[in-house]
Every structure is written in structure tokens, then in C-alpha cells.
């Protein structure tokens, strides 16, 4: 990765001289003839280091320093001073300069100082990224689950995390795919490196492209400055591509190239950028169906799916429900200053038997609202959202002997629909069939809404 160094001096010779020296050290340089111009460049470009003269027209070096420290605190500023102005240099240090050099500048010293400033900046940025991540990690619970299904998943996670293999995590909405992706990163030796998540469905095709690969200044209307993409930011770390099933064919090709050649270009850019990233992707779609339909590239699928982790829906691992419930009760009691200590037997059996079409997310949300609404120390059925306890009284379907398979099917579909208030997506998920199949059967059996 090249660093961008901004040289600010009103004397053209000094400016270009220093710029050349920095270029020889492998940096990309920008030049500004005073603080005002410098600030404009800093707003526009991604500057990693500023070398600034003190006395300049319009905005002085002193003022530039103060503004950078205020608004771009991670950009180091090295102050250049003329002879006899050591006092101002000392003042500049107090004001937050990284260091200072006296003129005429000793280029070897400058070279060393620039290198030190830039590596310090990297550490600051890394630390910030880690702290931000730690915050989101605190909000996320660790993976909870003692069912054999979850234990098997945890085994696979532990086994593949330290490798560079791409992992495709599949499963219904709310089963914990993102949590698995988190674990893959945190159990790898990339754990101290960036972990960058991209929610592919949230962005339009062109936005996603520039988000992933970055763009050059002027690549499209609105691209006022150069921007690094997520793949570049994630270099040496992990990229999590969430909802990978939603991306367009043109972006699919580019991701394939990153997987195969570890290369890409920024949007509107010529230079090829090399990255070392581990890719983890997730989807709640069946990508094999998308391949049949021609909406997902088969070659990309195989590259992503080196290891597949299929997270089963909660209704197929009900043993996990009590533990999850307990964890969520503790979490939300603390968060809301409540003292909920447990749940009564009826509620427990209701939670255990409910089909959880929204999986763990639905359980978590239900417990959150129950805890917030709870009047006592024990959760009761009345505290749960109505969608869960409606029909909770009578969860059996009676099918008389002598019924046909068709009778039985009609009855289970009717009862399931009733239990989820006619929500066909939920009903289909509970029944373990596709929505289309459900619609066909509703028509076939003339089941009323
Ligand atoms: N095993 C688990 N232990 C504790 N919390 C869990 C577990 N699985 C999921 N959760 C929690 O449930 C919620 C949903 O999980 P997550 O976002 O990982 O699901 P997802 O599979 O990515 O869903 P979607 O496909 O909708 O994005 C999160 O708040 C997550 O912390
Ligand atoms: Mg998700």
C-alpha cells in the first residue's frame, strides 16, 4: 500500500524538493502552497502524513496543525522550521505535531521520521478499528449452543478458522450466520488484523462496487476524492460478505478475481491492487438454485464454498432454546436494570415448542420485549409477544384414524397457518417447505385465510 504524503510550503523549490525525496522513498505526494490549500487537499484525498512549513500566507502552519489535530487526529504532522525558531517548534509539539525538523531539511532524517510517523499512524488506526470491533463484539453474544448440531459447527469453526480457506455459511435468516463469521475471524491468526463486514444486499450495484473495490477521484459523479475499498482496508485480515446471494453478475466476476488472483482495480482506476484477504461469505439463499437460474456464477460458488457451514434452524435444535433463553434474559435484565430471575414452567414449554420461524433473532427479540415488559422476577406467558402465545394454548393437531394423507396434510397446514396468524413465510418455514409449495397446497386443499 502506498502512503500519501502532503508537502506544504510556500517556497516552490523546497516543496518540490521535499516532494521528490518522499517519492524516492516510495510515497505518493501532494503539494500545497499554504495551509488553506493543504486543508482542501486533506478534505479531498486520503492523506497519511503532512509535512508543513510554519510561516505561510493565508492559513499558517500553526493554524493548519491545530485544524488537522482537531478534525483529522490520526494524521501525523511534521513541522518544518527555519533557524532560530526553535521556540515555535516546541510550541508546535505542544499543539500536537508529531515532530519537527529544522531547515535546511536533512533528507535522511526526514526519511526516518516519515517512516516512524506512518507506522505510528497505522497503529492508531488499527487500535481504533479494534476498539470499534470490540464494542460490536460486546453487543454480540458469543455462540451459545450445546446441541450436537451446534457442537459440530463449533468443531468445524475451530478446525477451519486458522486456515485461509474460503467459507460459505448458509442457513435461514436469524440462525447466527454472522456470529459464525465472527468466530472464524477471532479464532484465526488474523484476529488482530482488520475484520471488515460488507452487507451486500444493502447497497445498489454501483455503490457496492465502489464500496468493495474503492474508486478513483472522478470515477463517477459524486466521486470527489479517492476512496479505498473494503478489500483494501481488510488487507491481511478477513472480509465478511454478507448476503452474497444478492450481488449482481458484474460484481460477482470481480470478487471471483479477488479470490483467484488476489487482485482488483479501483473503480475508474488503472493500477492493479494486490491484497491478502480471507473471505467468508453468508447467504440465506440456496445458491445452487441461483446457479440453475443463471443468477449466480458457478465458478464463484465453488471458490466461496471451499468449506460449507450449514447452520440449522432453531426448531431443529430445540435443546439450545433454554440456554439461549437464559443468556438473553441475563443480557436484557442487565441492560434494562431489571431483576428477572427466571421463567415459569408454562412459558418454558411454550418457548420450547414454538417453531421460531425467525430463529434465534426472533427468540432474542421476544425475550428482550418480555424482559422489558416483565412486572415480576419471573417471566410469564403474558410477558411474551402475542405472536408467540397466540395458539400457544392448543398446539396439538388432532387427526382421526381413518384420515388420508391428504386430510392430514390439509389439517397441519391449516393449523400452522392459524398459529402464525396467516403469515405464509412463517408457516412455510415452520412446515419446512417452500413458499411456492405452500401456496400450491393452500389452493389445492382450498384452505381459507
Ligand atoms: N448461537 C447463538 N448464541 C447466541 N446468540 C446467537 C446465536 N445465534 C444467533 N444469535 C443472535 O441472534 C441474532 C441473529 O444472529 P445473526 O445476525 O448472526 O443471524 P444471521 O444468520 O446472520 O441472520 P440473517 O440471515 O438475517 O442476516 C444476533 O443477535 C445473534 O447475536
Ligand atoms: Mg446476517
CATH label of the domain that carries residue 415: 1.10.10.60
Q: Based on the domain organization, do 112 and 148 belong to the same domain?
A: no
Asked whether residue 199 is assigned to any structural domain, the reply reads yes
Pocket of ligand 1 (CB under 6 A): 140-141, 143-145, 171, 173-179, 284, 324, 360-361, 364
Q: How many CA atoms lie within 13 A of 372 on its CB side?
A: 8
**Sheet bearing 99-102, strands edge to edge:** 28-32, 4-8, 49-53, 77-81, 99-102
Q: Taking Cα atoms as reference points, which of 103, 2, 3, 108 lies closest to residue 52? A: 103
Do 182 and 292 reside in the same domain of the chain? Answer: yes
Domain ends where: 278, 312, 346?
A: 312
Tens-binned pLDDT, residue by residue, of the chain (449 aa): 789 999 999 999 999 999 999 999 999 999 999 999 999 999 999 999 999 998 888 888 999 999 999 999 889 999 998 766 677 878 888 888 988 898 889 999 999 999 989 987 776 676 566 556 545 544 444 788 888 999 899 999 999 999 999 999 999 999 999 999 999 999 999 999 999 999 998 888 888 999 999 999 888 887 788 889 999 999 999 999 999 999 999 999 999 999 999 999 999 999 999 999 999 999 999 999 999 999 999 999 999 999 999 999 999 999 889 888 888 888 898 899 988 877 887 888 889 889 999 999 999 999 999 999 998 888 888 999 988 876 544 567 778 888 899 889 998 999 888 878 888 988 898 888 989 999 999 999 988 87
Residues 303 and 340 grouped into a single domain? no
User: Are 145 and 290 members of one domain?
Assistant: yes
Within-domain flag for 32: yes
218 and 263 in a common domain: yes
Which residues 6+ apart lie within 8 Å of 425 measured at CB?
357, 435
**Which range marks the domain in which residue 171 is found?**
140-312
Q: Is residue 265 part of a domain?
A: yes
8 A C-beta contact, residue 449 and residue 422: yes
For ligand 1, what atom is nearest to the CA of residue 150? 1
Residues 250, 271 within the same domain: yes
Non-local CB neighbours of 110 within 8 Å, separated by 6+ positions: 18, 21, 22, 51, 78, 101
What is the grid cell recorded at 56?
Answer: 505561510
Atom 13 (ligand 1): residue with closest C-alpha?
361
Q: Are residues 86 and 10 in the same domain?
A: yes
Query: Cα separations (Å) of 36 from 33, 67, 164, 267?
Result: 8, 10, 46, 29
**Number of domains observed in the structure of the chain:** 4
Is 116 in the same domain as 202?
Answer: no
Please tell me the distance from the alpha carbon of residue 162 to that of residue 164, in angstroms, as a whole number: 7
Separation of alpha carbons 28 and 21, rounded Å:
11
The preferred substitution site among 140, 144, 151, 179 for testing ligand 1, maximizing ligand atoms within 8 Å of CB, is 179
Amino acid at each position: 500500500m502506498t502512503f500519501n504524503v502532503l508537502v506544504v510550503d510556500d517556497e516552490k523549490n523546497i516543496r518540490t524538493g521535499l516532494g521528490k525525496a518522499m517519492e524516492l522513498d516510495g510515497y505518493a505526494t501532494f503539494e500545497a502552497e499554504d495551509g488553506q490549500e493543504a486543508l482542501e487537499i486533506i478534505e479531498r484525498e486520503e492523506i497519511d502524513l503532512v509535512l508543513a512549513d510554519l510561516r505561510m500566507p493565508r492559513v499558517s502552519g500553526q493554524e493548519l496543525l491545530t485544524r488537522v489535530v482537531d478534525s483529522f487526529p490520526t494524521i501525523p504532522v511534521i513541522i518544518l522550521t527555519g533557524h532560530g525558531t526553535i521556540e515555535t517548534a516546541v510550541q508546535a509539539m505542544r499543539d500536537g505535531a508529531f515532530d519537527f525538523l529544522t531547515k535546511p531539511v536533512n533528507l535522511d532524517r526526514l526519511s526516518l521520521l516519515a517512516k516512524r510517523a506512518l507506522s505510528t499512524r497505522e497503529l492508531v488506526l488499527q487500535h481504533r478499528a479494534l476498539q470499534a470491533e470490540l464494542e460490536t463484539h460486546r453487543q454480540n453474544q458469543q455462540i451459545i449452543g450445546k446441541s450436537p448440531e451446534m457442537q459440530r459447527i463449533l468443531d468445524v469453526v475451530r478446525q477451519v478458522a486458522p486456515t485461509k480457506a474460503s467459507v460459505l455459511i448458509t442457513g435461514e435468516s436469524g440462525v447466527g450466520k454472522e456470529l459464525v463469521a465472527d468466530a472464524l475471524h477471532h479464532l484465526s491468526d488474523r484476529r488482530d488484523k482488520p475484520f471488515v463486514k460488507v452487507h451486500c444486499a444493502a447497497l445498489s450495484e454501483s455503490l457496492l462496487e465502489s464500496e468493495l473495490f474503492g474508486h478513483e477521484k472522478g470515477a463517477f459523479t459524486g466521486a470527489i476524492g479517492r476512496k479505498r475499498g473494503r478489500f483494501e482496508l481488510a488487507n491481511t485480515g478477513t472480509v465478511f460478505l454478507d448476503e452474497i446471494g444478492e450481488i449482481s453478475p458484474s460484481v460477482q466476476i470481480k470478487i471471483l478475481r479477488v479470490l483467484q488472483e488476489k487482485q482488483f482495480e479501483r473503480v475508474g482506476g488503472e493500477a492493479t491492487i494486490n491484497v491478502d484477504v480471507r473471505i467468508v461469505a453468508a447467504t440465506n439463499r440456496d445458491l445452487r438454485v441461483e446457479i440453475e437460474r443463471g443468477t449466480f456464477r458457478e465458478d464463484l460458488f465453488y471458490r466461496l464454498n471451499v468449506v460449507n457451514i450449514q447452520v440449522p434452524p432453531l426448531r431443529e435444535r430445540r435443546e439450545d432454546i433454554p440456554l439461549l433463553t437464559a443468556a438473553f434474559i441475563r443480557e436484557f435484565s442487565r441492560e434494562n436494570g431489571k431483576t428477572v430471575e427466571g421463567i415459569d414452567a408454562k412459558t418454558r414449554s411454550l418457548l420450547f415448542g414454538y417453531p421460531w420461524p425467525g430463529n434465534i433473532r426472533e427468540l432474542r427479540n421476544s425475550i428482550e420485549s418480555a424482559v422489558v415488559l416483565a412486572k415480576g422476577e419471573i417471566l410469564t406467558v403474558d410477558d411474551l409477544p402475542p405472536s408467540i402465545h397466540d395458539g400457544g394454548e392448543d398446539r396439538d393437531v388432532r387427526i382421526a384414524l381413518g384420515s388420508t394423507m391428504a386430510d392430514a396434510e390439509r389439517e397441519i397446514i391449516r393449523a400452522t397457518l392459524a398459529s402464525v396468524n396467516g403469515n405464509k413465510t412463517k408457516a412455510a418455514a415452520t412446515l419446512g417447505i417452500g413458499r411456492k409449495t405452500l401456496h400450491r397446497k393452500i389452493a389445492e386443499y382450498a384452505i381459507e385465510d
